[in-house]
Structure 1
């Protein structure tokens, strides 16, 4: 009898590694492993491993090492990868709705409002039906850092300072909004910003959060910045090929969802802490920060709504996403 019990125990122990190999997800992100989001992604992987008892192996590809950032969702949809853990607006070539889903410029005051729209006000369901289903993808969740800051070689105290301000801008909705204020947006890659500022190609930039802008060395040249930010808050997402997601047990799916919501909150909190620390340091070094008035922020949002409407008219999906945002914004007093 003892021999049979020992044999059964050995069989059970040797079966564990095999179970651990039953599920594997190949995921790509554009973040590097050393960045704050990259570190949180590693924590996400570790938490999922712990919560599932190693039932799923996550193979994370950092820094867009498999395909270009704007090709990740297509690669996941086709089975080259399983999941996309990157930006949302990069998919705008598929449908204008991706722009409004990922960064409705000037819409929300805080990342917590945006997350509330997605997780608790129907945002998740709207984007799944109108955007992700068409790509055969399942949206697991959204996460984001928070508002970006504008950096400038000249003051940016309010609307008047935007006229003729030549600055680096990402393409799309933002260029249209700022151009309507009389600014002169110049579309260029993120990596070109520091040199463009140093050489005077642009007078300022919409690059990233205050802390990231400081790490890029922008304040060596640009001695003015908006903070807290108000104009742009691009979100990230985790979505998976429906086939790959459907093969995961419900317990594994839940572990992934719970862990992602955890890092969504922590990324917003950590970004706020590091931006505040950066604000204290760079002001002591001679950088002037401009906290736009409530009136100017409200006016920016009102101007932006006209451009939102233009983008909503581009497709039924875009209109559905915009309507969802506006419904929630109206309920919490952000728009009339």
Structure 2
């Protein structure tokens, strides 16, 4: 009898211990590439909060804004080795690791709208290229979001590509810088937080910053009185990527919950960044800002020049060659290329 009671006690103790382990929340460290006050970071916070709420607190994601755990350029390797569990970033940051990341992150001057790119990613399964690139690095792509085409800001007219000649331009290194150099601009490597002062001091006369709404919110049009809308050059893809080992520790139900919440990210972000555009355009006109809408032939001319830049990146790997060939075929099908 005593032995039986002892056995029951041991079994109950084991069950309680297992229950305690099961009920312990899973805690992840997640790095964002956005500042705490930005629209994009608020979207990241919403995703994390929804996951915590829907999991009844079983998934607790400790999200920090830019440079919280690590810098943007360090996030890739930090996620790979498990120093952090996940990241909201853009694949273009990792272009030196694999040209697929550059091409998928922001293929310069390729698209007329986010819908075009999203259609290729989804209906044509183009997203598989990015998934495979991350898999090769021990990472798991969970989801992505696009933004409206970005608008340039300038202290000089930008009626067409000829107006880029000899302009000192803030533009990130890589594919964007390569194209604008070909178009006659003189690229300068300046971080986003220093763009306002650079424009004020005349260190640059042209800047690749963000969308019309973000440019407006940051006060750039108080300095630079020329812009273009809609844009043509940049429409970066942002993604949510996790450490593969961290992902595999989740139950199938938890994985599905995260995927479902992240799937809604794109449309929420597009709604936020497209809101009040007509009001912004009216206010810019009242401020004396010249908003240029480029002719289709002028945009197409830039896109044809951009193809030469794409080919340079395509030559860096067999997979990149296949990717660019597939994108070009799709762009011809929808009329973006001849």
Query: Does TM-score exceed 0.5, indicating one fold?
Result: yes
Secondary structure of 1:34 counterpart: coil
CA distance in 2, matches of 1:90, 1:112: 23
Deviation at 1:316, TM superposition (A): 2.6
Residues 274-320 of structure 1 deviation map (CA, whole Å, 9 limit, x = unaligned): 44432222221111100111111122211111110111112234323
Within 2, Cα distance between the matches of 1:40 and 1:24? Answer: 20
Picking from 309, 312, 323, the partner of 2:311 is 309
Shift of 1:232: 0.7
Distance 2:64 2:19 in 1: 26
Q: Is the 8 A contact 2:100 2:129 kept in 1?
A: no
The equivalent of 1:148 in structure 2 is 150
1:202 Cα shift?
1.2
Shift of 1:160: 2.2
Q: Deviations over 1:128-162 (max 9, x none)?
A: 22x21221001111112221111111111112212
Q: Quote the offset at 1:265 in angstroms.
A: 1.1
Alignment check: 8 A CA contact 1:138 1:239 kept? yes
Q: Whole-Å Cα distance in 1 between the matches of residues 225 and 34 of structure 2?
A: 27
Counterpart for residue 106 of structure 1: 109
Gaps (5+ residues) in structure 2?
A: 1-14
Equivalent residue for 2:221, pick from 219, 241, 250: 219
1:243 to 242, 245, 265: 245
Larger RCO, structure (CA 8 Å, separation 6 or more) = 1
State the aligned residue count: 324
Question: Does the C-alpha gap of structure 1 residues 117 and 206 become closer, same or farther in structure 2, counting only changes over 3 Å?
Answer: same
Cα drift, residue 118 of structure 1: 2.3
Q: Please tell me whether the aligned partners of residues 117 and 123 of structure 1 are also in contact (alpha carbons under 8 angstroms).
A: yes
- Following superposition of structure 1 onto structure 2, how do residues 6-85 of structure 1 map, counting pairs within 5 Å? 19-85=22-88
| Equivalent runs, 1:231-270 vs 2, <5 Å | 231-270=233-272
Change (3 A) 1:305 1:246: same
Determine which structure has more spread, i.e. the larger CA radius of gyration: 2
Rounded Cα–Cα distance in structure 2 between residues aligned with 1:55 and 1:97:
35
Report the RMSD for the aligned CA atoms in angstroms: 2.2
Specify the alignment match of 1:9 in structure 2: none
- 1:72-102 CA distances to partner (integer Å, 9 max, x unpaired)? 1110110101112112211112122211110
Q: Secondary structure at the match of 1:182?
A: coil
Contact 2:213 2:274 in 1 (8 A): no
Corresponding residue number in structure 2 for 1:117: 120
Q: Report the Cα offset of residue 259 of structure 1.
A: 1.4
What secondary structure sits across from 1:311 in the alignment?
helix
